[in-house]
């Protein structure tokens, strides 16, 4: 992804007056001419098909790379003259994409790097690689099938969880894959989260051994399957609103994604609007073999350095925390009651096998349905083995609006900090690390704040992921007091979408 980093870095490095002139379209000559155009100012709902539809009048488009969280994209034209025509035209007249004016400049890259062996500019592969960004809800083969199949016939799906959640989807033909990439790249599966970033995959065919929640061969429906029972209640609710999701306020209806006519299947039965199913408590995720429950069991906790508050500091990134209790009979093990089973799924996905204070965490779903405050004792650091966090203001998923602001990320070596007073400096963070006996960061960045801002935010990078996890566990929710200030500021930390500064 060198071109993404280069384009983003170039945009970030521009002085304010340059950025202003760019938005007016008048400074495209300051970057050398390239067949790759950097598009900024996109609205949240833009998908690849919108870009192609708006820009193909300038010439043939070879490849599109979406950057949904940045509201940006890279568009590679077949020849440099088409790119010049696009940027020059946008400098004089507004170009609208999905109803919103976008801004154009040449990219610092001369070509968008294709993943794997996709040297064919049109993408000669029927297998797509889907990266699900900010996966607030569980992603299963049912969900991806419901999303993808209306655009092109799906044959096989494989989901894997190494760096976040990714999936490979094999379509019936290359044409189906091309249509799906164009129609869905940059779209949200659920409103404000589970954003799809789609590229062509390396494999040209998927090998599915077993049909379950993480893999399915639709050409062999009975392949090594378990008893389906209630487990395959696929909701391909095309054109209808699904029923309301649960009772805790996480939205009511699935977002409707209009598919451009050229990307729809030929069937008369396929509607123009695809309603994605909202996550249901009775979905296949809950019945297809994964145990339900809102309690996780965490073992491998350092007995001297971990307590209830530090467990909260780490697990609150993936859902609300109700209670934390260390087990007296099993040292270094705690039960964490979370807000719902989806929070448990996120915690298990992202924190299992993570190293913390020299030990490797084992995070799994507990058979317990709730945490009961029994056998309370004193931990090594003198704090209680049980703590109730149900009313904590530091829970980050207390409403649908608050939940949608959280970026669900796997642990990384870069932390995003926010809600710190204006007087905080790099030296302040260095002292915090020393005081809490965690390794210091190697890079520090503060974001430009508005004149009216009362707090600061920025990024901190550590040498490795383990160091960053330990720092977050120790420093998250630290109370920063300001001289002559009435109330302290609560330092908020989370894992960043950036891999390096």
pLDDT at 473 over 60: yes
Q: Which range, of 110-114, 251-255, 264-268, 469-473, averages the lowest pLDDT?
A: 251-255
State the first-to-last Cα distance of the chain, in angstroms, to the nearest integer: 15
What local confidence, expressed as pLDDT, does residue 224 receive?
Answer: 65
Q: Which residues contact 407 (CB under 8 A, 6 or more apart)?
A: 69, 134, 494, 497
The better pLDDT of the pair 286, 64 is held by: 64
Pairing of strands 188-190, 193-200: antiparallel
Closest Cα partner for 396 from 310, 477, 298, 285? 477
pLDDT at 478 over 60: yes
- Rounded CA-CA distance 500/497 in Å is 9
pLDDT tier at 277, thresholds 50, 70, 90: very low
Closest Cα partner for 500 from 433, 382, 412, 436? 412
Per-residue pLDDT of 171-200, as tens digits, reads 999 999 988 998 898 888 887 788 898 988
The position carrying tokens 């070879």 is: 62
What local confidence, expressed as pLDDT, does residue 162 receive?
Answer: 67
Over the chain, what is the mean pLDDT? 79
Q: Which residues contact 228 (CB under 8 A, 6 or more apart)?
A: none
Single pTM value for the model: 0.59
The better pLDDT of the pair 334, 26 is held by: 334
Report the share of the chain in percent with pLDDT over 90.
43
Q: 396 in helix, strand or coil?
A: coil
Which runs of consecutive H residues, i.e. helices, occur in 211-338? 284-287, 308-315
Q: Are 131 and 166 in contact (CB under 8 A)?
A: yes
**In this structure, what DSSP letter does residue 226 have?**
P
Instruction: Find how far residue 312's CA is from the centre of its chain.
Output: 21
Q: 120 in helix, strand or coil?
A: coil
pLDDT tier at 28, thresholds 50, 70, 90: very low
pLDDT tier at 45, thresholds 50, 70, 90: confident
Per-residue pLDDT of 130-144, as tens digits, reads 988 888 788 889 889
What local confidence, expressed as pLDDT, does residue 115 receive?
Answer: 63
DSSP 423-463: T--HHHHHHHHHHTT-PPPSEEEE----TT-SEEEEEEE-S
Residue 33: other Cβ atoms inside 10 A: 13
Closest Cα partner for 294 from 326, 322, 334, 333? 322
């Amino acid at each position: 992804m060198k071109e993404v980093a280069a384009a983003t870095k170039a945009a970030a490095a521009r002085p304010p007056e340059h950025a202003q002139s760019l938005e007016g379209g008048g400074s495209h000559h300051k970057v050398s001419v390239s067949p790759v155009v950097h598009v900024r100012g996109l609205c949240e709902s833009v998908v690849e098909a919108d870009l192609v539809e708006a820009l193909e009048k300038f010439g043939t488009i070879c490849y599109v790379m979406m950057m949904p969280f940045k509201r940006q994209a890279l568009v590679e034209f077949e020849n440099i003259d088409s790119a010049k025509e696009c940027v020059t035209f946008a400098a004089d007249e507004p170009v609208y994409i999905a109803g919103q004016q976008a801004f154009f400049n040449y990219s610092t890259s001369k070509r968008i790097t294709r993943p794997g062996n996709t040297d064919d500019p049109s993408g000669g592969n029927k297998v797509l690689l889907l990266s699900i960004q900010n996966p607030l809800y569980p992603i299963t083969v049912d969900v991806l099938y419901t999303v993808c199949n209306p655009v092109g016939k799906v044959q096989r799906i494989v989901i894997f969880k190494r760096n976040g959640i990714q999936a490979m989807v094999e379509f019936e033909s290359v044409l189906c894959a091309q249509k799906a990439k164009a129609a869905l790249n940059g779209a949200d599966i659920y409103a404000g989260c589970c954003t799809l970033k789609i590229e062509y995959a390396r494999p040209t065919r998927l090998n599915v051994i077993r049909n379950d929640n993480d893999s399915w061969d639709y050409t062999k429906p009975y392949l090594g399957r378990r008893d389906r029972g209630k487990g395959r209640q696929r909701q391909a609710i095309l054109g209808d609103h699904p029923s309301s999701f649960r009772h805790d306020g996480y939205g009511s209806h699935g977002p409707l994604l209009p598919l451009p006519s050229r990307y729809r299947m030929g069937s008369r039965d396929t509607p123009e609007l695809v309603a994605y199913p909202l996550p249901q408590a009775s979905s296949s995720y809950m019945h297809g073999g994964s145990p339900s429950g809102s309690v996780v069991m965490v073992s491998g906790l350092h007995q001297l350095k971990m307590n209830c508050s530090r467990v909260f500091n780490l697990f609150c990134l993936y859902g609300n925390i109700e209670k934390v209790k260390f087990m007296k009979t099993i040292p270094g093990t705690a039960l964490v009651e979370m807000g719902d089973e989806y929070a448990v799924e996120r915690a298990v996905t992202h924190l299992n096998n993570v190293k913390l204070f020299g030990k490797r965490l084992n995070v799994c779903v507990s058979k317990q349905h709730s945490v009961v405050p029994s056998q309370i004792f004193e931990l090594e650091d003198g704090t209680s083995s049980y703590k109730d966090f149900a009313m904590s203001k530091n829970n980050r998923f207390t409403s649908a609006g608050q939940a949608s602001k959280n970026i669900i990320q796997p642990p990384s070596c870069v932390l995003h900090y926010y809600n710190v007073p204006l007087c905080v400096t790099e030296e302040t963070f260095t002292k915090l690390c020393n005081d809490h006996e965690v390794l210091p960061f190697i890079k520090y960045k503060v974001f430009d704040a508005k004149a009216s801002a009362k707090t600061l935010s920025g990024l901190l990078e550590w040498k490795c992921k383990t160091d960053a996890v330990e720092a977050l566990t120790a420093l998250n929710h630290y109370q920063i007091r300001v001289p002559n200030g009435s109330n302290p500021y609560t330092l908020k930390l989370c894992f960043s979408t950036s891999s390096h500064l």
